[in-house]
Amino acid sequence: MSTRILAGIKVLDLTNVLSGPFTSLHLALLGAEVIKVENPKDGDLARKLGILPALNKRLMGTSFLAQNCNKKSITLNTKSAEGKAIFLRMAKDADVVVENFRPGVMDRLGIGYKTLAGYNPRLVYCAISGFGQTGPDALFPAYDQIIQGLSGEMAVNGDERLSPLRTGFPVCDTVGGLNAAFAVMAALFHRERTGEGQFIDVALLDSIMPLMGWVAANLLIGKQQPVLMGNDNFTAAPSGTFRTADGFINIAANKQEQWEAVCDVLGLPELKKDPRFEERDTRKKNRKALTPLLEEKLVTKPTAAWVTELNDSDVPSGAILGLEEALRQPQVVHRDVLKKVPLTGFGDIEVFGLTAQFEKTPGAVDTPPPELGEHNADIYAALGIPAAEQAELKAKGVI
């Protein structure tokens, strides 16, 4: 049986909603023991978020189910003196703490990094926030949409008819979570070499900006403001979305030889010598004239036919799928991107597994997202808290 990369690593996860849970999900898929520490009343807010009211009432909303497999859940009121004491006991032998509160919250609770590091200097502590732990905006509230707007990401989407335009999924939360998971892994690697833990400050605003690297480079280095181009690719032409007989096709003819192949496949060899389109940079400037000429041919056949012909000529192209069709396409099925896991009282649900495929240490989805407090008895017993004391703590609202 293969060993998981993070087998033996214990993570205390105090995060909510998306960015933090997405971080700890990747650690859990790699084999870490992730203990989700939730408030006793209703836990992670994502437990109530989803389109199925029955699951929301169970505190197992679809938003929660999406990124909490392989984790354990305990309830703990860290605002209480007893809850704080229990958390400190847990932190003594933890490897990682992940939280996404506003800066200063954990310190006010008495369980911030400096306190925890005094008990456990090997601890890797990752704090995820909208704007980071310092700076003029550090204490402002932040959700994904706020960061999309402040990062410039919304301003570079869309075209002259529709802008600003929000990305259709929480890209800033998700990328922030990936950034934090990467940072935790790097800090654990550093600890292997030095024995030192450390504090990691991850900001959603910082995390999204490098993803716009090419657009930003055009501004920072080339002094060119972003141009709203909708589905066109600013680096080349023809590179974007085009009409066909039954819908649309993506074509990415980024190289000169690919452009020439497009002309041959579409039966438009004369365009190769047209002075408006012959050179890459002039094609880009004249894309509005080029697109109708290409679409006049493309609308004579369905998308699937053009995809085959263009790809056979080494021109990258593809259909534009709806989400369900995308999830069921043969390549995604072959790659085993979706995993089935049983949810009590509901049946099998499909979730994403670890999409990096390790040859020797593969990740896996082993257990479904936990019910709120599902692992209280086991984890608190292992901490030396007997059942009778657990009952007392529950009655007092500590767990």
Q: Which residue has the tokens 């003819």?
A: 253
Gap between the Cα atoms of 71 and 323, Å rounded: 27
- Model pLDDT, residue 105: 96
User: Is the alpha carbon torsion for 167, 173, 176, 181 positive or negative?
Assistant: negative
Gap between the Cα atoms of 72 and 280, Å rounded: 55
Chain centre distance of CA 177:
6
Gap between the Cα atoms of 43 and 47, Å rounded: 7
Neighbours of 296 (CB within 10 A): 12
Q: Which two tokens stand for residue 21?
A: 């849970």
Cis peptide before 238 (omega within 30 of 0): yes
Gap between the Cα atoms of 331 and 235, Å rounded: 27
Neighbours of 211 (CB within 10 A): 15
Gap between the Cα atoms of 261 and 257, Å rounded: 6
Q: Are 112 and 71 spatial neighbours (Cβ–Cβ below 8 Å)? A: no
- Model pLDDT, residue 80: 96
Give me the helix-helix angle, 256-265 and 303-312, nearest 10°.
130
Chain centre distance of CA 389:
39
Protein fold of 10-210+334-395: Rossmann fold (3.40.50)
Strand 198-203 with 124-129, pairing: parallel
Q: Are 295 and 242 spatial neighbours (Cβ–Cβ below 8 Å)? A: yes
Round to the nearest angstrom and report the end-to-end CA distance of the chain: 36
- Compute the CA torsion angle 273, 275, 281, 287 (nearest 10 deg): -90
Q: Which amino acid is at 286?
A: N
- Model pLDDT, residue 2: 64
- What b/e sequence results for 39-70 when a residue is b if at least 16 CB atoms lie within 10 Å of its CB, and e otherwise? bbeebbebbbbbeeeebbebbbbebbbbbbbb
Q: Which two tokens stand for residue 298?
A: 């493309």
Q: Which two tokens stand for residue 314?
A: 């080494």
- Model pLDDT, residue 86: 97
Q: Are 164 and 158 spatial neighbours (Cβ–Cβ below 8 Å)? A: yes
- Model pLDDT, residue 391: 96
Q: Are 22 and 173 spatial neighbours (Cβ–Cβ below 8 Å)? A: yes
Q: Which two tokens stand for residue 84?
A: 């704080």
Instruction: List the chain pLDDT tens, one digit each, 399 residues.
Output: 568 999 999 999 999 999 999 999 999 999 999 999 999 999 999 999 999 999 999 999 999 999 999 999 999 999 999 999 999 999 999 999 999 999 999 999 999 999 999 999 999 999 999 999 999 999 999 999 999 999 999 999 988 889 999 999 999 999 999 999 999 999 999 999 999 999 999 999 999 999 999 999 999 999 999 888 888 988 899 999 999 999 999 999 999 999 999 999 999 999 999 999 999 999 999 999 999 999 999 999 999 999 999 999 999 999 999 999 999 999 999 999 999 999 999 999 999 999 999 999 999 999 999 999 999 999 999 999 999 999 999 999 999
Q: Are 340 and 349 spatial neighbours (Cβ–Cβ below 8 Å)? A: yes
Give the bridge partners for 108, in sequence order.
Answer: none
CATH superfamily of 248-319: formyl-coa transferase, domain 3 (3.30.1540.10)
Three-state DSSP class for residue 248: strand
Catalytic residue among 44, 144, 173, 201: 173
Gap between the Cα atoms of 135 and 157, Å rounded: 27
Q: Which amino acid is at 309?
A: E
Gap between the Cα atoms of 39 and 172, Å rounded: 25
- In the chain, which residues fall in CATH 3.30.1540.10? 248-319
| Reported pTM | 0.93
Is 173 among the residues known to form the active site?
Answer: yes
Q: Which amino acid is at 108?
A: R
- Model pLDDT, residue 378: 96
Gap between the Cα atoms of 149 and 163, Å rounded: 11
- In the chain, which residues fall in CATH 3.40.50.10540? 10-210+334-395
